[in-house]
Structure 1
Amino acid sequence: MAEALKLPKYSIGTGDRFAHQAKAQLAAVMKAAEQGVDIAIVWNKSNREHMIIGTEPTQTREAADAAVKELGFKGQYFLDADHITLKTVDRFLAPCDFYTIDVAEEIGKPAAEADVEAFVAAHPELVGEVRIPRIAEPFKTDVAFVKGVANKFLAAVKDAGKIYRHILEAKGEGKFVAEVSMDETDLPQTPVELLIILAAIADEKIPIQTIAPKFTGRFNKGVDYVGDVPQFTKEFEEDLAAIDFAIKRYGLPDNLKLSVHSGSDKFSIYKAIHTAITKFDAGVHLKTAGTTWLEELIGLAEAGGEGLAIAKEVYAEAFAHAEELCKPYATVIDIDYAKLPSVEEVNGWTSEQYTSALRHDQSNPAYNSSFRQLLHVGFKVAAKMGDKYLKALEANEDVVAKNVTTNIYDRHIVPVFLGK
């Protein structure tokens, strides 16, 4: 019997919207291996992105497999059906082996009273003084508290169970990795709340290997973390402690680890993450690390000529359709429209001016986070260009690939996994 698929200690989620940068992304992970750090690469692309671009998950699989073969990569790699629900999962069943189960719509929906009562009855250890090793102070709970948390999250966990069993029926046991996303909620979960969620997941018999809780602060798309870093550090370490305890107490997979969603470019917290996973000897999944689509634009602009012209055209269209492009991402972007340069201004820019505004280098006074965020959600514009955009990528492959690899390795892998 084949060995069950197991996500390694360290993994990095990389999006590749146009399926052209798999080699460049993989090269970053291979550079880490040369430094003695093995990281599994997880290519992820959501149903929404496939719908916007007009692609199929099988194309992402083909690109990943081709990159692995061409570069002779011997490590582990996965394809993530990113943020799937029961309605969207079927098209991902054949090509994917990692499933981020999204239950956002169910979080906060009242659970069945009988389910809540049964949960509380089954878990007396969660009522009273709850001691989680490696957290100094015990947590004091009562029946009302546990019922309240169960009522908020139990319907979501039950929904995750339905999705997991649907995948299980199609794929078979041990043939895929399951993650449950619990970050679409109003407030960060406390360690004891996370413990309650993990107990419910264990009861539902979902062998999750990663979980994405809610953390304090803003995790906006493609820009740095905005929030209280010491508070994040405390939450992250306490979540690691809660997971370690839940593995032992509830028999969850021993490689269960935290997943940091919208983890890309959160430079302010990378040192805290590295310190914490080192201290706890824990793993981490850094999801959507390295905004590859933006590195493509940077590469095109850097190339000059037709590449720069296309980069300017993308901005002009994104600027003209800003409201429409931003709407689906409203909760994960903060654009100051007054700071967006005019189309006329950008059309007059040199390659260096364009890349300086877009590249995520906060030491550069020309860096513009609003410009960057608008272009981040503007991939729909490039999708509408079709072959024109893809041929530009291919014509400028060397400069684009260099930006993609450098971004993932230098700005993400090195601080999080190598601690430098």
Structure 2
Amino acid sequence: MSPTGERVAMATDELQATLPPAVTVYERSVYSDGDSTFALVNDADGKRRLYVAGPAIADFDGGTVQGDGQVFPLTYGNAMALAEVFPWLEPTTAGRQSAFGFGDRIGLATPGHVRAVRDSDLVPVFAQQSIREMDRTGRSPEDVLATAIFGVFQEGYEGGFVADADHLMAREDVERTAGVGFTMFTCDPSEHVVADADSMSEEKVEAAFAQIEDSEAILDRYAGETFEAKTDGFTWSDSFSEIELKRAAVKYYEAIEFAEELYGWVAQAVDGDFDFEVSVDETETPTTHLEHALIASELDRRGVEVTSLAPRFVGSLEKGIDYIGDLNEFEADLKGHVAIAETYGPYRLSLHSGSDKFSIYPFFEEYASDYQHVKTAGTSYLEAIRVVAENDPDLYREIHAFALERFDEDKATYHVNTDLSNVPDIDDLTDDEFPKILDQDDGRQLLHITYGSVLSATDENGEFRFKDDLLGTLREYEDDHYAFLEEHLGHHVDLLTGEIED
């Protein structure tokens, strides 16, 4: 049962009988509220639309008559109207519950994501996208949220979900995403992290530290202090030397101040509860346990209520492939970060670039199962490309060639060690061998990193070169798309929750 409406028992066939044969009803989406009936349908042109019959028709815009009711476009306004009827469609917060982020760069993946997480205890984040990703894919906060809502409705999923405005760096972006209904806000202070502080000479550290307005207070608060943290079976304690404290302050203090400022913007923009994450993972060097404890202490002192924090873990967390590094070292690093998160929060540890990090998921399940937040995005795009590779080889061949042209420029914003010489020459493969490229690390990264260029590329007439054909293929082979997502993302979820062992 939903809060205001209920699933219509055995009504799909009855509804289908009132519609043209070319229009199909998504069975899990058929609901009633009072005298009105609602469903998501796949219309004759292959596009999804919202079907409404009864008095509720007046609450939606852009309808055309279809059977006994009307069908409406899947706009943001219509998504909000539907959520008024069924409040379980409104994004919620996760608080400190473990969560999993599903980034959908295309706008068609949510039903597959729902199937991957439906039987899990993880709180799903179905709407998760950064402003940078939206700009690269030609989307908006309204579009990202609307596609998530309609995907949830299509699957009849009443378990609740979060909407994450990821990698926020500007006040206007906070206000844009808060204004349309996002409930989680991820602060990206990377521009304020002095990444080369780790390699500075002591003289340069001293000079840079002296420029911090709060420098003497930092020494008063933390010089000589022992930081301690404890969790089941693990105890940690350590203290900074004076030069180490100054180095950590030079590296992170401006970022901490920015996080406090952005938190204030969110608090002003949101009327109600929200989740707040601070991400310091986008640096070349790992966040030490002492640095983590310092960041947590300062955020707490400033009244910043963090629900998750993303440190830079040891090893390499490249896009779209498994973890690179010493697993024993990672395990030890994670245990310390977990203890700090539980002691100084509690808050969740967030793993960014979490796609396909299968070898380290068991550690998260063992040590951080109650306080974990894993974010994925590009791996869902790769599953969309897999649909193309299996069903439209000519389109895949064009996308692959274009990705090779764009790779050197597009990789500038990523930390990867992709070797394109390892990518199979597409001319040496038969059509049915194309999906193998998506099972090879360098091939995955080639396609992952160039997603923005592929989705935004236009021809001399201003028409999309690939996007419309890509979307058309995904609609035509919708069942494959959902099945690939369910299997691949479901494997992530199962490992993180201990349902299977890798």
Match of 1:239 among 325, 337, 345: 337
Letter in 1 for 2:493: I
User: How far, CA to CA, are the matches of 1:128 and 1:164 in structure 2?
Assistant: 27
Q: Describe the shift of the 1:327–1:191 C-alpha distance in structure 2 as closer, same or farther (beyond 3 A).
A: closer
Measure the CA separation in 2 of the matches of 1:194 and 1:339: 37
Match of 1:103 among 178, 182, 189: 189
Once the 2 structures are TM-superposed, how far is the Cα of residue 178 of structure 1 from its aligned partner? 0.7
TM-score normalised over the length of structure 2: 0.72
Q: 1:398 is matched with which residue?
A: 479
Letter of the 1:418 counterpart: G
Q: Do structure 1's residue 179 and structure 2's residue 277 form an aligned pair? A: yes
Q: Report which of the two structures shows the higher radius of gyration computed on alpha carbons.
A: 2
Name whichever structure is richer in strand by fraction. Answer: 2
Deviation at 1:407, TM superposition (A): 0.5
Tell me the SS of whatever aligns to 1:291: helix
Counterpart code for 2:174 = V
User: Do the aligned partners of residues 275 and 237 (structure 1) sit closer, same or farther apart at CA in structure 2, a change above 3 Å counting?
Assistant: same
- Check conservation: 1:301, 1:308, Cα contact below 8 A: yes
CA contact (8 A) 1:45 1:80 kept: yes
Report the more deviating stretch, 161-170 or 229-238.
161-170
1:389 aligns with 2:470: yes
- Look up the match of 2:135: 51
Offset, 1:116: 2.6
Using the alignment, how far apart are the partners of 1:105 and 1:349 within structure 2? 45
Instruction: Give me the whole-angstrom Cα distance separating, in 2, the residues matched to 1:214 and 1:382.
Output: 29
The yes-or-no answer on 1:295 pairing with 2:383 is: yes
8 Å CA contact 1:44–1:80 kept in 2: the answer is: yes
**Number of the residue aligned with 1:364:** none
Q: Sequence identity of aligned pairs in percent?
A: 26
Residue 264 (str. 1) matches residue 358 (str. 2): no
Measure how far apart 1:320 and its partner are.
Answer: 2.2
* Counterpart for residue 372 of structure 2: 284
Q: 1:377 aligns with which of 445, 449, 473?
A: 449
1:344 is matched with 427
Quote how far apart the aligned CAs of 1:141 are. Answer: 2.9
TM-score of the two chains, using structure 1 as the length reference: 0.85
Higher relative contact order (CA 8 A, sep 6+): 1
Q: Which amino acid aligns with 1:354?
A: F
Distance 2:227 2:305 in 1: 24
Cα distance in 1 for residues equivalent to 2:165 and 2:275: 10
Q: Residue type of the partner of 1:130?
A: F
Structure 2 counterpart of 1:54, which letter? G
Contact in 2 for aligned 1:116/1:151 (Cα 8 Å): no
Per-residue deviation, residues 17-72 of structure 1 (Å, max 9, x unmatched): 1111111111111032xxxx343334311222211111111111001111222222
Unaligned 5+ runs, structure 2: 1-91, 196-207, 458-465
**Alpha-carbon distance between aligned partners in 1 of 2:379 and 2:282, rounded to the nearest angstrom:** 21
**Once superposed, what is the RMSD of the aligned Cα atoms?**
2.1
Work out whether 1:130 is the aligned partner of 2:210. Answer: no
TM-superposed CA distance for 1:277, in Å, is: 2.2
Query: In the alignment, is the contact (CA less than 8 A) between 2:93 and 2:161 conserved in 1?
Result: no
| Cα distance between partner residues in 1 of 2:250 and 2:413 | 28
Q: Does 1:14 align with 2:102?
A: yes
Q: Secondary structure at the match of 2:246?
A: helix
Q: CA deviation at 1:160?
A: 1.0
Task: Report the CA distance shift for 1:7/1:290 in structure 2 as closer, same or farther (over 3 A).
Answer: farther
Residue-by-residue CA offset, 1:285-343 (whole Å, 9 max, x unaligned): 011167110001112222x2xx22222211011112221222222x1x22112112334
1:417 paired residue number: 497
What secondary structure does 1:93 align onto?
Answer: helix
Aligned length: 383
> Does residue 229 of structure 2 align to residue 118 of structure 1?
no
Q: How does 1:215-230 map to 2 (within 5 A)?
A: 215-230=313-328
